[in-house]
Structure 1
């Protein structure tokens, strides 16, 4: 197990106004934002967005307004989820690393989509919930979101909120700070 690095992910998924999922559709991952945090050098590297073709739903106007992801972008740059998992394995070797996200949604969605497709999860069981780590570190009574956590640390959000790679990068900044 490599304890010098942590992979941070952030997913964007198909979504609907008021969380009302239309009949016949399911939440699908449409972007996997990922980066690597080196615990020794404190550097964040290999930040990227992997766009994913939704297989059980469509990207609507609400989802595009929230994430900036359009059907055209997915058509141009998207790959199937199974291919995205293979790409992550090739480029990040995640089986040897702890992986992390801000909250449990990302972990649960990865597990759900892998189960649905009957494929192996590219990540192992060592998951670190950065939101929970942050809450515990600062002895907060309740969870707070990514932006508020950055505000609490007097750090600026870099990039666009609800961009998977930007959210992953900002979550990595929070994790780096609380591990100091």
Structure 2
């Protein structure tokens, strides 16, 4: 998965490939919800959004390489405020992890978001039960925790979630040796 990637909006015709990507890494869903990926996970990802967010502000992007869909990025433009983009999910195909695919997909997202002149901040929520996997990745991209963890409930999982942010225009990602806040349970 070292070849070039291209990013495009996913549609209903991409549901089989998206569902396969989600099911190929059940560890993520198990950590975040306590359950295996559901048969309708791809369809739910394409349409699910916070109450009040217009449908055109929900964008699910696919990163495609030589082997097809290699990563998915769920983006909420203008949420929770007009100057933010919330990344609800950035998931890499299990076989592409630790090969730079996530970083390259994020770089493509940055290029797209640069055209959204109102946006100054990127944000992601890191769920406590997935923190060991997620925190090093987001820290290496220049994200930093912004506050105290809040309660998080999904499926059988009850844990906490912490919002991490970075400037859209940041040129200096944090070093990969960043220190993380201690988690309390």
Tell me the TM-score normalised to structure 2 length: 0.28
Q: Quick check: which one's strand share is greater?
A: 2
Tell me the TM-score normalised to structure 1 length: 0.28
Q: Which has the higher contact order (CA 8 A, sep 6+)?
A: 1
